Chains A and B, each alone.
Chain A
Amino acid sequence: MPHPLRDRYCIVGVGETEYSQHSGRSTRAMAVEAVKKAMDDAGLTPKDVDGLLSYHMGDSTPSTAVASDLGIRPNFFMDVSGGGSSTEALIGLAMGAIEVGMCHTVAIYRSMNGYSQVRIGGTGVRAAAPLSGSALLTRPYGLISPLQQFAFAFTRHMMEYGTTNEQLAMVKVVHSRHASANPKAFKKNPVSVEDVLNSRWIVKPVAHLLDCCLETDNATCIIVTSAERARTLRQRPIYIMAVQGRGTRPFPDNPWAEAPITRIGGTYIAPRIFELAGVGPEDVDITGCYDAFTFTVVLQFEAYGFCKVGEGGHYVSSGIIALGGKRPNNTSGGHLCEGYTHGMNMVIENVRQLRGQADDYCPGWREGRHTYHYGPGGCRQVKDPEIAMNMGWGTPGYGSALILRR
């Protein structure tokens, strides 16, 4: 018997601001623009939206401010602490809030001046803050940035499975080609394996500069409502088959305790999410995999069973994840090339892909006339994808997942 919540909720609107490194305005102004665009996309007015959810790590703007600015009268709102595993988690929370009757239509947004103001990487404001608690056990050793926190797991993966820098570079190569066909992408230049390997080391042996995602200023928004309501709105409803927010491995905040440390939260989420959705990895047409670093993609494909453990390096360099391949990943260019909104932009991309609305350089894309010729500056719409999966990354310790269908 299918899970009772399968296909009962839909994503009905998506919107975002420009991806830049110089927004020149407040996170509040960007949040409001993203929510407004998502409402317009869905054909909703502020009086049709009565729930607001957001998450923050570093900077943000509270949902009460967004409600005030847009004239939304929320019946339910919440701003949670969190980063890359929050998008999927809040989609699940929105479904729950609607299910118990607290509200009926929820806008989920993330707004961040992630380059010009509060950089995730630990520089600026974050670097100057006094240290206490468990940070005393890492930061005095110069172990500060997210990449450094993940690097022990990545190095072990190289040692245990022979994953190479060339294989990792292919993630960037593929995503950069996807971004070259995305008018919104902040970095549109296609790069080669040599470009990645010739970029400077950030943390050796696991990441050169081009293995690391962008830091950008932007806001993004996703609107969730019931399937009944969705069917009356402007866009084709995109059904939520299953969502799992923030599943963890044992000792989620001490990811070094248990071996193999290359086992991530997704390992534990995978059987649950596929059972809830009633499909398996082989049924998924497109993926949106959290690419904070090229290595996070490798670990997640293994964890969710798209390939065997240890074969992630081969998977990402086999052509499968490229446009025109069997299961394209991050067709917008993802965090590596489109921009960084802490997980949300890849969900937005998959919604548009399922609608057949990926914006690209095809002359007739607005009317759905795509060429399906996947060269630089060409098409990036996948032909008739039916099922999409997003994988959100918190740390190796925890993550989130979402399976959508058209």
Chain B
Amino acid sequence: MPTYEYRGLVLHLPELDQEHWGYFEAARRHQLVVKRCLDCNLLRWEPGPSCPFCASLRWEWAPVSGKGEIYSYQIVYHSVHPGFRDWVPYPIVLVELDEQRGIPTPGYGLRIAANLVDAQFRPEREERVAIGARVQVVFMDLPNGLTLPQFALSGEPPRGRVWRHAG
């Protein structure tokens, strides 16, 4: 059972964890995947064992583009975990992927939380974090063999409203 250490966190990833094993396997290959229902064909996040739209138990991992926009964000100034204290203030972004926006219901989306990082995988500067900013997935390879999907600003022009807190 693979166990990884990251910033003082111990991460267990047993092979029987079919909710997450394939996700991190794909990340190691620098591919972002979500689950696709083999009955209604809809994608889902997070990767549970059943389709939340039709309750089918049949699924496969499906690659997605890793492109999207920031749907919401937070800048962590106080880290409750000591492992992140050298990172504060660090952004966590909720990214809405371009795939399946508004399907099957208005407002539904595939939304993934991760850090917004710069080219050196350091926390992106706070003033560059904004709702509506375009992002793309990047893969942070850790020395212990674990790869964490992260997001970085893509430089694409925003498609809609851009908002950040005035403070």
Residues of A within 8 A of B (CB): 121-123, 127, 129-134, 136-145, 148, 151-153, 155-156, 158-159, 165, 200-206, 209, 250-251, 254, 256-261
Residues of B near A261 (CB, < 8 A) are 71-72
Bound Cα distance A165, B167 (Å): 10
Which of A134, A137, A158 neighbours the largest number of chain B CB atoms within 10 Å of its CB? A137
Residues of B within 8 A of A (CB): 3, 6-14, 17, 19-20, 24, 45-46, 52, 71-84, 87, 89-90, 92, 94, 105-109, 111-115, 126, 131, 148, 163, 165, 167
Which residue of the partner chain, among A205, A209, A256, contacts B75 with CB atoms under 8 Å?
A205
Bound Cα distance A251, B51 (Å): 11
Which residue of the partner chain, among A123, A140, A201, A250, contacts B80 with CB atoms under 8 Å?
A123
Tell me the minimal C-beta distance from A194 to chain B in angstroms.
14
Which of A132, A202, A261 neighbours the largest number of chain B CB atoms within 10 Å of its CB? A132
Contact between chains at A202 and B113 (CB < 8 Å)? no
Contact between chains at B9 and A131 (CB < 8 Å)? yes
- Write the chain B residue with the least CB distance to A151: B74
The 5 listed contacts between A and B (C-beta, < 8 Å) are A136-B24, A139-B9, A141-B148, A142-B84, A144-B80
| Interface of B, helix, strand, loop or mixed by DSSP | mixed
Contact between chains at B74 and A256 (CB < 8 Å)? no
Contact between chains at A152 and B80 (CB < 8 Å)? no
- Write the chain A residue with the least CB distance to B111: A256
Bound Cα distance A260, B131 (Å): 14
Contact between chains at B76 and A156 (CB < 8 Å)? no
Contact between chains at B163 and A159 (CB < 8 Å)? yes
Tell me the minimal C-beta distance from A395 to chain B in angstroms.
14
Residues of A near B126 (CB, < 8 A) are 204
- Write the chain A residue with the least CB distance to B126: A204
Asked whether A201 and B78 contact (CB < 8 A) given A131-B10, A260-B107, the answer is yes
- Write the chain B residue with the least CB distance to A137: B46
Contact between chains at B113 and A140 (CB < 8 Å)? no
Bound Cα distance A256, B73 (Å): 12
Contact between chains at B20 and A142 (CB < 8 Å)? no
Tell me the minimal C-beta distance from B91 to chain A in angstroms.
9
Bound Cα distance A142, B10 (Å): 13
Contact between chains at A130 and B3 (CB < 8 Å)? yes
Contact between chains at B9 and A134 (CB < 8 Å)? no
Residues of A near B52 (CB, < 8 A) are 250-251, 257
Which residue of the partner chain, among A132, A134, A148, contacts B14 with CB atoms under 8 Å?
A132
Contact between chains at A203 and B74 (CB < 8 Å)? yes
Residues of B near A159 (CB, < 8 A) are 72, 131, 163
Which of A142, A153, A156 neighbours the largest number of chain B CB atoms within 10 Å of its CB? A142
Tell me the minimal C-beta distance from B12 to chain A in angstroms.
4
Which residue of the partner chain, among B72, B77, B79, B83, contacts A200 with CB atoms under 8 Å?
B77
